[in-house]
Amino acid sequence: MKKLLYTILTVFTFSSVFAGNPDRQGESGAAQLLLNPWARSAGLHTMTTANVIGVEAMQLNIAGLSRVNKTQVMIGNTQYLKGTGIGLNAIGLSQKLGENSAIGIQLMAVDFGKIPITTTNQPEGIGATYSPSFFNIGLGYSYTFQNKISVGFLVRGVSETLADISAFGIAMDAGVQYVTGKKDEFKLGISLRNIGSPMKFGGEGLSIAQNAPEGNYQLTFNVRPANYELPSMLNLGVSYDFDLGENLILTGIGNFTSNSFAQDQVGLGFNFAIGKFFQVRAGYKYEFGQFNESGLYASMDKGLSAGVSVEIPLKKNSESRLGLDYGYRHTTRWSGSHSIGVSINL
């Protein structure tokens, strides 16, 4: 156990000093992999690397998947950057296999709404619309050793499609969670996300008709698109549960995110639970070098966040519950991101 703890602390220190690559900011694609559709973890700015469990673990740290009680089904919807018309829809299932392992599946789709088609001759639109189809589906597995160390691995298919061009890629996540203390109050987490092969668009939309170099006729030319990398990241988190008595638990969290194609981020938050049926939470995420040369914010994914959860028992004296979640994230433009979720825990 001590060896694992030293390894985690070493990786954290090394990442804090050498991580991040602002020179490559904005060069990655498949940004949908960075979006969180789940309300509970969104209320803490997706910083629950150390203590996330169940379906939501597939979006942050797959190691927490096996800490689900038995079966969990979740549905989530997010109004992303409210005012832009962008929505996130997700559904996920996690299922315990025996006492120590679990599998899960998650599907998330981005709804861009109807976008007017414009041309250089008709910049106001031609009267038609289109809607991109962006979605990803992940399949994960996690195993817990003696209720102390959980490890997990996830494979995700990523699809981005327009009417006449498309791209597809494979992303992989891996994670570890470590729990210790008399009441398992202290937790550490590490997750490596979005590691995979580059993606590239292809299709008929990349073919254009132009006049031949010689002669009065046209030829079809194929545009060669460039590859783009996935937005890989490393998350390191810690949490501690303070038992205040009378079924009151205050959980403090801290998280560090090292981005391969953006500035690094660090954040703090808390979750206050009253028994098993009510929770309120808030967090703050800071981005290093958050102002660019023009003085404008370089990223939207930072600042304040907050959320609340209510869980309703489905049966008397049973662990089966219906959960209702809401999460809010402040943004420097538009009217924030609002997430709602429904879960069934059996």
15, pLDDT greater than 80: no
Residues 247, 279: Cα–Cα separation, whole Å: 12
Domain boundaries, the chain: 2-345
Mean pLDDT of 194-208: 90
Mean pLDDT of 54-72: 95
Write phi, then psi, for 286 (nearest 5 degrees). -115, 140
**Cα distances (Å, whole numbers) of residue 6 to 2, 234, 270:** 6, 17, 25
10, pLDDT greater than 90: no
**0.95 surpassed by pTM:** no
Cα dihedral 179, 176, 265, 74, rounded to 10, equals: -90
Mean pLDDT of 191-213: 89
Residue 4 vs residue 284, higher pLDDT = 284
Report the half-sphere exposure of 107 (CA within 13 A, side-chain side): 2
Q: What pLDDT sits at residue 298?
A: 56
* Third-level CATH fold of 2-345: Porin (2.40.160)
152, pLDDT greater than 80: yes
201, pLDDT greater than 50: yes
131-140, 266-275, 309-318, range with the lowest pLDDT: 309-318
7, pLDDT greater than 70: no
13, pLDDT greater than 70: no
Place of tokens 């069934």: 344
Average pLDDT, the chain: 89
Mean pLDDT of 10-29: 58
**pLDDT tens-place string over residues 258-306:** 998 888 999 999 999 998 899 999 999 998 876 555 555 556 777 899 9
Q: CB 54: neighbour CB atoms within 10 A? A: 26
Q: What pLDDT sits at residue 14?
A: 46
**Cα distances (Å, whole numbers) of residue 314 to 308, 319, 321:** 19, 8, 5
Mean pLDDT of 127-145: 95
**pLDDT tens-place string over residues 204-251:** 888 888 888 777 888 888 888 889 999 999 999 999 999 998 899 999
